[in-house]
Structure 1
Amino acid sequence: MFQTGSIKTKLKFIKMNHSDEPYEIPVPWFLIKHPEGDVIIDGGMPIEAAIDKHKHWGSVVEAYDPVMKVSEWCRDMVKTVNTKPEDIKYVIQTHLHLDHSGAIGHFPNATHITQRLEYDYAFNPDWFSGPAYIRADFDKPNIRWKFLQGRKTDFYDVYGDGVIKLIFTPGHTPGHQSVLVNLPKTGHMLFTGDACYTGDHWCDKCLPGLVSSSSDAAQFKKKGPKQENCLG
């Protein structure tokens, strides 16, 4: 697990209908080593958020203020664990929000896997979701995309060996997906993206602060085995 800094925000933007209390959240991303090719889950924040956050994110920084060093960018961080950018075979996007898009287009041999619904929505989001998508992060030439089809491709097995499966978990965004990984030492781990931020979300005490569908978000836990370890 890696971290591209943090975001300073307010509690109400993480837990729906909560207070204006200041709240700082980490921005993690994950590298899965696999014999057939390494896999990145999301990429944290893009390097532009460290170079000039106001230019890249605009007024979004008033609600979500990124705190990131250039050295924390995912493309550079993989090199610290003896992994070359060329070694990455897949970049899995739980969704395309601005704090998950740091890997897109920066790993030359990677195929990027997202939901078709998420990709289309990112180009034409509802007014309340628009600021969370930075088109320059994902509207790039020469990117290899693989689009999944929601419930038709649910539990898609990336390598066909049961190690990495993608679960359609809409709610935070229309095309959000979570990642179920079977690790050799710890067993199954569920990487939830933004479907579940905290223990309170997991225990059905609150919804994410930003959702496209409250009812879909509330159904999240029904999609996966309840005994899995959970990483947001």
Structure 2
Amino acid sequence: MTTDIKVHVLHTGLVQVDRALPFHDYYRNPLAFTGILRSHINQITLPVSSYLIEHPKGLVLIDTGWNESVRQSQWHELGMQVQINKAYLPAGWSVREQLATLGYKPSDIDYLVLSHLHSDHASGLKLVKEAKKILTSDAEWQAANRDKLRYINKMWRDVNVETFAYESANVGPLHQTFDLFGDGSVQFVATPGHSAGLSATIVTGKDGREVVLAADVGYARESWEKMVTPGIVVDRKAAIESLAWIKQEAAKPNVVEALANHDPQVMPHVVTLSY
């Protein structure tokens, strides 16, 4: 049993998108992020991250990256979404393979928490569906099962997904969090905008040092440094306010790292905090 908190930053795939998707505010064309009628020279390839937290109170996985099925057919997994997001999964990169490399089976995961249910975060869910408890916010779950354009609900069909409700707290742009262990060490923070129920994560050590996992509030550190929102949002105002909160958090002296899910400057590594 670990006596520290270890945050493993994993790359569980790659995604090719138009550069306007992560950095919407640089482009006048509001549909540039779709890549439609735009040259291939505007395409960029970004990592798709997941996070494994080894915690004294349990093993926590955040997000799942791509399913191994994309190696055979992106169309079968993504359908029409492949026009916007092209999925790549090199050998050894799937969430199942990454866990095995670290010596774990999916059934060893105590909590699998989905920051949101967009395809690049939920596609690999069935690879780890034996996790003891699978959670996402109730706001995200409701949105994902209504919206057939932004979500592909076959990705969680026949998977036992439970939901959590945010509670009032003095953290986040809405002052709403879900405290996983009830001790403030792993908090999921309501950060809507990119999706209705998007959760960022704050991991806190006993000495107050923190790691902020921004999910898709911004696609890279540049996003909050320059206040550039992503192309896909359900509420641009909320997206700006959530991004401003990440910017504020990232600047705090006790924050050792603030990480965006798709930042090409972030390599796989481990951050250790005391507990």
TM-score (structure 1 length as normaliser) = 0.88
Residue 213 of structure 1: CA displacement?
0.4
Are the counterparts in 1 of residues 166 and 177 from structure 2 also a CA contact under 8 Å? Answer: no
Residue 13 of structure 1: CA displacement?
1.4
Match of 1:116 among 115, 124, 138: 138
Name the larger-Rg structure: 2
Q: Residue 20 of structure 2 corresponds to which residue in structure 1?
A: 12
Are the counterparts in 2 of residues 38 and 89 from structure 1 also a CA contact under 8 Å? Answer: yes
Are the counterparts in 2 of residues 155 and 168 from structure 1 also a CA contact under 8 Å? Answer: yes
- Where 2:20 maps in the other structure, the secondary structure is helix
CA deviation profile, 1:152-181 (whole Å, cap 9, x unmatched): 892221112221011000000011111101
Q: Residue 47 of structure 2 corresponds to which residue in structure 1?
A: 26
Match of 1:230 among 258, 264, 272: 258
Q: Residue 237 of structure 2 corresponds to which residue in structure 1?
A: 215
- Where 1:206 maps in the other structure, the secondary structure is coil
Q: Does residue 1:51 correspond to 2:72, yes or no?
A: yes
Match of 2:163 among 146, 154, 173: 146
- Stretch of structure 1 that moved more, 94-103 or 108-117: 108-117
Aligned residue type for 1:134 = I
Name the CA distance, whole Å, in 2 between partners of 1:184 and 1:102. Answer: 34
Q: Residue 10 of structure 2 corresponds to which residue in structure 1?
A: 2
Name the CA distance, whole Å, in 2 between partners of 1:38 and 1:208. Answer: 30
Q: Unpaired runs of 5+ in structure 2? A: 1-8, 33-37, 170-174, 261-275
How many pairs were matched up?
227
Match of 1:75 among 78, 96, 99: 96
Residue 103 of structure 1: CA displacement?
4.6
Q: Percent identity among equivalent residues?
A: 22
Give the 3 Å change call, closer, same or farther, for CA 92–37 of structure 1 in structure 2: same
Name the CA distance, whole Å, in 1 between partners of 2:146 and 2:20. Answer: 25
Instruction: Choose between structure 1 and 2 for higher RCO, CA contacts under 8 A separated by at least 6 residues.
Output: 2
Q: Residue 177 of structure 1 corresponds to which residue in structure 2?
A: 199
Name the CA distance, whole Å, in 1 between partners of 2:212 and 2:64. Answer: 17
TM-score (structure 2 length as normaliser) = 0.75
Q: Unpaired runs of 5+ in structure 1? A: none
